Amino acid sequence: MSLPKEKNIILAPSSVGLFSKKEAASLIASGCAHLHSSIVGKRDSLVSLTHQAIDNQISATYPWEVSENTNELFLTSSKERKKTIEQVLTELKLKNTSSMGDKIWTSLEELLTNSIFHAYHDPKGKEKYYRKESVELLPEEKILIKFHRSPTGFFLSVKDSGQGLSFEKVQNNFKRCYASSDISQIETKDGGAGLGLYVVFELATHIKIISHPSFGTLTSCWFATPATFNPDYFSFNYFEGDQKL
């Protein structure tokens, strides 16, 4: 189920500095696919990993994604969504009433609904599943959730096998959500409200997206504990692959 790491296109440019989430979103909206906010700038070890990945034309694996204790679950039906999220929280030993439990619940809910309702398209290119319908995914469409906790934070990833998430869509999403403060932030068409990625970006410390038109989208997130949380320290990295290359 892992996405191929070879032959990825790495979208550039990258930005390293000290940003607010709003400033970062503006940079992403204007084409920055790799962004690190850190007080140590280019000396940050995550920045080095990103630059190595760009140089080597592969996607990066960050230390916050790696643990011997990573758990896995599959989601096969929209009806099972809430039960699955509860199971993740239970295995992470989190109550949904806690601050971290709320962050994980909200982020997982948004990532799963994006995968179920937006990743899979019919032969005409239209979204296959409708938001208000109960959806049973095909076996090849099941969604993989990975998660673990460490003393410094919580890891969560969601992988679907859909059409991929273009960087243009990411840019448009950030433009809409951050450029306005009125109702135009919200998509009014039937389907999603278009706030999911915005919500996750606001909640997570680190986000990595790998989109592959033939293999789907993997979104990985890291949530720092209150003791290690620093609002100036976060990252966003988008990698796009193409099997034809």
Partner 1 sequence: MNTAKAINPTNDHFHFEMTEIQNATRVNLIGIIDEDTDFSTLLKLKNSPVIFNFKEVTSINSCGIRTWVNFIKELTGSTLEFTECPPLIVRQMNMVPSFIGNATVNSVFVPYVCDGCDHEQNLLVSVTDYKKGGPIAETIQCENCKSEEMEMDGNAKQYFAFAK
Angle at 105 between CA 204 and CA 20, to 5 degrees: 20
Distance, CA of 224 to CA of 195 (rounded, Å): 22
Q: Under rule CB under 8 A, how many of the chain's residues touch partner 1? A: 31
Q: State in angstroms the smallest separation of the CB of 241 from partner 1.
A: 27
Q: State in angstroms the smallest separation of the CB of 95 from partner 1.
A: 9
Q: Which is nearer to partner 1, 57 or 87 (CB)?
A: 87
116 neighbors 56 (Cβ within 8 angstroms): no
| Beta partners for residue 222, in sequence order | 155, 206
Q: Which is nearer to partner 1, 61 or 98 (CB)?
A: 98
Q: Which is nearer to partner 1, 172 or 214 (CB)?
A: 172
Cis peptide bond upstream of 13, omega within 30: yes
Contacts of residue 52, Cβ cutoff 8 Å, sequence gap at least 6: 60
Distance, CA of 170 to CA of 193 (rounded, Å): 14
Distance, CA of 228 to CA of 245 (rounded, Å): 40
Q: Which is nearer to partner 1, 54 or 100 (CB)?
A: 100
Stretch that binds partner 1, among 48-56, 139-147, 157-165, 181-189 (CB under 8 A): 181-189
Q: Which is nearer to partner 1, 44 or 102 (CB)?
A: 102
196 neighbors 113 (Cβ within 8 angstroms): yes
Q: State in angstroms the smallest separation of the CB of 181 from partner 1.
A: 5
Give the N- to C-terminal CA distance of the chain in Å, as an integer: 20
Stretch that binds partner 1, among 4-12, 63-71, 164-172, 186-194 (CB under 8 A): 186-194
Q: Which is nearer to partner 1, 31 or 231 (CB)?
A: 231
Distance, CA of 106 to CA of 90 (rounded, Å): 15
Looking at residues 84 to 143 of the shown chain, list those that interact with partner 1 (rule: CB under 8 A). Answer: 96-99, 102, 105-106, 109-110, 113, 131-132
Does the footprint of partner 1 cover residue 195 (CB under 8 A)?
yes
> Under the rule (CB under 8 A), what is the footprint of partner 1?
82, 96-99, 102, 105-106, 109-110, 113, 131-132, 181-183, 185-188, 192-196, 198-199, 202, 226-227, 231
